[in-house]
Amino acid sequence: MYFDEKKLKDILVSPGHISIEHFNEALNEAKEHGVSIEEILVSEDLIKDEQLGQLLAQITGFPFVNLRNEAFDEAHFEMIPELVARRMGVVAFGRSEDGVKVGMIEPGDIETRHAIEKRMGENIVPYFITKRDLKGVLSRYKASLYEEFEKILEELKNPSLPQEERDKMTIKVVDTLLAYGYQNKASDIHIEPHRGKILIRFRIDGIMHDVLEIPNNLLDLILTRIKIMSRMRTDEHRAAQDGKFRFEVDSSGSVDVRVSVVPVVEGENIVLRLLSAANRQFNLSDIGLNDSDLSKVQEAIDNPHGMILVTGPTGSGKTTTIYAVLRILNTREVHISTIEDPVEYDIEGISQIQVDKKTNLMFADGLRAIVRQDPDIIMVGEIRDKETADIATNSAMTGHLVLSTLHANDAATSLPRLLDMDIEPFLIASTINVIIAQRLVRKICQGCRKSANLSSEEIEMVKRNDVAMNLLLAKGAGNLDKLVIFKGSGCKICGSTGYIGRIGVFEVLLMRGNIKQLVIDRASSDEILKIAKENGMTTMVEDGIGKVLNGVTTIEEVLRVTKG
């Protein structure tokens, strides 16, 4: 739908949703690339897609609906065939007393409405939807992964199938796995050889799901295809190999795929990590930082030198947080260089170096080279040893802003961890601006969220956790039997899990004067934690409990990821 430039200014600029400068820049970029200004505004993160949709709906005069939050009725959804839905930009998602509810990118198009009503044989109730929202929902038309593989396997059983066609089917096997992993928002695809079978598993929202079993005679075909795509040696079967490639998904965007192949007893185990372009667009508020913590991180970002550390175990979202910070810092006025293992996202305008064990280009060597490249900002993928820590802290001391990650249980533990690497206490105290510790919790599905009381099992879990119990008491929620929280009952949107997506729980430790003195005195992590809390630091458990009471996640999730 075409939206008049003046009307867009009236609803976006006048109320202060975006500045006139950003509006004009987006308008020029849209004209230059031949796309709508709405696409530019959302892709540049100047406004959220849902917020823009609500504002644009005011122009159309039709109610706005966010399809991602709707519990779809499959019977109504299938009333509009996929090809029609794509061509006309429409999707049926439910029913009201007045007819079938249909989301449309152009609800004012009388001709399209009449065509849909004629096809359905009944009245429709039009709603305004965004193009991005429609694109996400159209993936629901896909057949199940099992059905797709059944068709492929049947074709491969044909002994007269020409080799060229057999090669095409092998390509289709891998492409199908990647497409379904992407559509199901999987972060990883595991292809595991077992005796007599190959098990396909997806990691979705941090939890592993068994998806499919296929015959083990397909392993060599799949393995060879993946090795070719990721530029690995196809004749090497006894050593671990790493690689990566980019996969285009239905013209809706690209996915960077990081590949790990490791020899096991039954063959070679394959793990594909999917790094979608959408993840590159996260900003700090999206990932779950509350206003207080966000202002602390912003204070550290605004400092032209020093160090920002992000800590947590593997899979806690550290890299996403680092990239969100880099996204803020990435302007034409500064030179940013990174040394990573691996480079997870290619970012335009940033010099990124990949660690390479074959050429002995490790973190310390790469960091030395980066310092000679006249950078303003340096990102070190991970501080693993004394040598890397030494160079990183000295770089922060000599006028650079350094970002890095560290494996530590919490923010307070990170400081003694650096001391254990034999970094001088005065260097740590004078260079570190902020430490962000984090975990990821699953978010309650908005399509089936409902209020509930804690179960007897959850009450016992809370009572066994003194920290959580004391926090609830402090918030006036100590009567666990009557505490009202939220849960997902399970629906088609979330695959009956009650959860969809993940969000971070954080603690942000600012290096105030009293904390610096503790580091110089080589104080324990317990002493540092005590003073940090007195300074106003919110712990991860406290942040998590706050998200439970706000209906974002469940008590079970918070206690699961923060235990130990």
**Confidence (pLDDT) at 144:** 57
**Confidence (pLDDT) at 252:** 54
Is residue 495 pLDDT above 90, yes or no? no
Beta strands in 413-476 (DSSP E): 432-444, 449-453
CA 293 to chain centre: 19
Mean pLDDT value of segment 42-57: 84
- CA 106, 110, 112, 114 dihedral sign is positive
**Confidence (pLDDT) at 153:** 78
Cβ distance 449 to 491 under 8 Å? Answer: no
Using pLDDT thresholds of 50, 70 and 90, give the confidence band for residue 251. Answer: low
Q: Which tokens hold the place of 75?
A: 């019977």
Q: Which tokens hold the place of 508?
A: 């942000």
CA 274 to chain centre: 10
- CA 375, 378, 381, 387 dihedral sign is positive
**Confidence (pLDDT) at 133:** 86
Q: How far is the CA of 305 from the CAs of 383, 387, 390, in angstroms?
A: 18, 20, 16
Cβ distance 53 to 64 under 8 Å? Answer: yes
- CA 438, 439, 440, 444 dihedral sign is negative
Mean pLDDT value of segment 333-344: 87
CA 308 to chain centre: 21
**For residue 184, which phi and psi values (nearest 5 degrees)?**
-95, 10
- pLDDT tens readout for residues 411-461: 999 999 999 999 999 999 999 999 999 999 999 987 788 888 888 888 888
**Confidence (pLDDT) at 292:** 92
Is residue 185 pLDDT above 80, yes or no? no
Residue predicted with more confidence, 488 or 73: 488
- Measured between alpha carbons, how far is 408 from 389 in angstroms, rounded to an integer? 14
CA 366 to chain centre: 27
Is residue 182 pLDDT above 60, yes or no? yes
Query: All domains of the chain, ordered by start, with CATH?
Result: 5-138 (3.30.300.160), 142-278 (3.30.450.90), 282-562 (3.40.50.300)
Q: What is the DSSP letter of 361?
A: B
Q: Which tokens hold the place of 229?
A: 């795509």
Residue predicted with more confidence, 272 or 184: 272
Between strands 241-248 and 254-264, the pairing is antiparallel
pTM: 0.66
DSSP string, 284-329: TTTTT--HHHHHHHHHHHTSSSEEEEEE-STTSSHHHHHHHHHHHH
- Measured between alpha carbons, how far is 130 from 444 in angstroms, rounded to an integer? 23
